[in-house]
Amino acid sequence: MLKVGGFPATKVGIHIAQRHLSYSRRIWNKTQFRLPGSYKPNKDVIHKLPFVTCLKIWFKSLQPNRLRDLQGELLDYMISSDLQENANIKRVQTQVPINDDKTIFMNEVTLELKQNEGKPTKHVVFIHGYGAALGCFARNFQLINLLNDDKFNYKIHFLDNISFGLSSNPKSESINLTSMTIPKCVSIKLNDPDPTDPKKLYNKYYKLIDSYDLNVDEFVEYKKKFIPILKDLETYYTSAIDQWRINSGIKKIDYLVGHSYGGYWSGSYAVKYPKNLETLILLSPVGVERHMQAVTNPILYPGGPQKGPVQTLTPSLDPRSFHFLSRLPILSSKHIRNWYYYQPYLPRLLKWLGPWGVSKYYSMWYMKLFKINKLISKQGGAKKVFKSSNDLVYGTNKECHLLIEYLYNNMSKGSVSDIYIKNLLTPSTVSKWPLYDKFTEHFRSTENETTFKMHLIYGQFDFMNSEAGRHLVDQVNTLTKTKIASYHETDEGGHNLYLDNPFQMNHQLQQIITNKL
């Protein structure tokens, strides 16, 4: 008689075989990992690449398909098909059209784990931040190995956000890309007689000054100018995500994970399409806090007739207040000039710098990636930290170099978002339309109506305003009179917490996805 997995090929036999194979997979996934005796911690720090190596990287970057090749190499290195623990993982690299004539598309890498054909599939979607692409989440590919339960099948989609990576780079309608001038924020005069003492700054970045002056007429014109631009940008990014969802045949996104700039647009997507997702997970999102230059600031002339339009106002250190100046009091004039006139065009200049540009980019990224070795040592060594054979690649120089070359090739190709981000954010790196206000408006209007759950995760040493994140969680829970929002932190993590501590980050995501956190 024909047998399946050692069982008779009857309906009952096949069912038993399927359960046996599923159980075997669970046993494999839960078997305690043993560190190979040949493993050695990477202590070989390479601060600078040889000029010839930089020249090779730059020359290869001129090839039209280099970024695509690196995406494949990164996937193969981080989730090797040769490892037993990855045997049941289906890996797909694809591009999904998001417009009618199929000329605009979103690029993705998908990791799929089918553990039970009779169970539904949970979709987890990752959206990266500015200056990145889906490969920046390479250290989170191993999340798929942690989703080893029998309740669901899992499909993790790592997307190149629209205009980034291998996705299309279409233009928004309202922003003039031919202009060499980024429209500026409304000017504010700071009345700050005391020199800045870094030791006295609030939360390392915020200084409370005496007062500030604002021309209300200029502020009104500023709002009129930027509100249409910001609405157009919201449509540009969020509609791309939703068209990808529709054309991918996904009824509802179960978990939408957005980091930084991608976190801002993931949050914007959630409040614009609340019925199209179950859970929102924001990793160190940019633009949560309110501030003086927010277009949602309802500033009015106080107390009747004015002799002039200029108001002198008292600042606040509360990121829920429209009197919050964010980092403005500590920004140099050089920083502000670079924000408008240099930084938006730097990515396109990077490739023109040839191998010297590669060297500069390498020095900017290498130690950020290599420091994972210090984390491993600090937490008891690889024997204690590593949970699978996939983890053996963490912190190797091959991994660091592959990530850097991938990110260099992505960054140096340029994106319309190099300009769009300067329209969304102020030189203080805060959004002109705060997420705090988007979520407040949404949950006030929907009251206690069923909606998505929220998790905000910041790094322990994050430079984003985690205090604003805490306040947003409290605000959402207060407005909904439930506890649908939660706040978390990742130990030893900075703004790129998913790279800094992927071990805890992946565990936190696994706990959220399996409803344990």
- Assigned token pair, 320: 């829920």
Arithmetic mean of pLDDT over the chain: 91
For position 179, what pLDDT does the model report?
A: 66
Q: How far is residue 55's CA from residue 362's CA, in Å, rounded to a whole number?
A: 12
Q: How far is CA 298 from CA 33, 92, 317, 412, in A?
A: 57, 48, 18, 40
Q: 425: closest CA among 312, 315, 274, 265?
A: 265
For position 248, what pLDDT does the model report?
A: 98
119 phi-psi bin (left φ>0, alpha ψ -120 to 50, beta other):
beta
Average pLDDT over residues 51-59: 98
- Assigned token pair, 507: 């565990």
* pLDDT tier at 517, thresholds 50, 70, 90: confident
* pLDDT tier at 31, thresholds 50, 70, 90: low
Q: How far is residue 136's CA from residue 329's CA, in Å, rounded to a whole number?
A: 32
Look-up of token digits 């790129």: 496
Whether residue 108 has pLDDT greater than 90: yes
Burial class (CB in 10 A: 0-12, 13-18, 19+), 48: exposed
* pLDDT tier at 23, thresholds 50, 70, 90: very low
List, in order of start, the domains of the chain with CATH numbers. Answer: 48-183+223-290+335-513 (3.40.50.1820)
Share of the chain above pLDDT 70, in %: 90
For position 274, what pLDDT does the model report?
A: 95
HEC secondary structure over 414-428: CCCHHHHHHHHECCC
- Please name the helix (run of DSSP H) or strand (run of DSSP E) that holds residue 283, with its range, or none: strand 277-283
Whether residue 50 has pLDDT greater than 60: yes
DSSP 202: B
* pLDDT tier at 348, thresholds 50, 70, 90: confident
The pLDDT tens digits for 446-500 are: 665 668 999 999 999 999 999 999 999 999 999 999 999 999 999 999 999 999 9
Q: Could you give phi then psi for residue 154, rounded to 5 degrees?
A: -130, 140
Average pLDDT over residues 233-248: 98
For position 423, what pLDDT does the model report?
A: 94
The predicted model scores a pTM of 0.92
The pLDDT tens digits for 398-426 are: 999 999 999 999 999 999 999 999 999 99
| More confident site: 267 or 303 | 267
Pair 209, 329: CB distance under 8 Å: yes
For position 453, what pLDDT does the model report?
A: 96
Whether residue 357 has pLDDT greater than 80: yes
For position 14, what pLDDT does the model report?
A: 37
Q: How far is residue 221's CA from residue 149's CA, in Å, rounded to a whole number?
A: 55
- Assigned token pair, 394: 């963490």
Pair 162, 194: CB distance under 8 Å: no
The pLDDT tens digits for 156-190 are: 999 999 999 999 999 987 777 666 678 899 999 99
For position 246, what pLDDT does the model report?
A: 98
For position 249, what pLDDT does the model report?
A: 97
Positions of E strands within 28-152: 89-97, 105-113, 121-127
Burial class (CB in 10 A: 0-12, 13-18, 19+), 178: exposed
Q: Could you give phi then psi for residue 112, rounded to 5 degrees?
A: -125, 135
Whether residue 17 has pLDDT greater than 50: no
Which segments of 319-465 does DSSP mark as H helices, in order? 333-341, 346-350, 354-370, 372-378, 382-385, 397-412, 417-424, 435-446
Average pLDDT over residues 185-214: 95
* pLDDT tier at 27, thresholds 50, 70, 90: very low
- Which residues, at least 6 apart from 191, have a Cβ–Cβ distance to it below 8 Å? 209, 210, 211, 212, 213, 312
Q: What strands lie across the sheet with 310-313, from one edge to the other?
A: 188-191, 211-215, 310-313
Bridge partners of 425? 431
Whether residue 143 has pLDDT greater than 80: yes
For position 64, what pLDDT does the model report?
A: 92
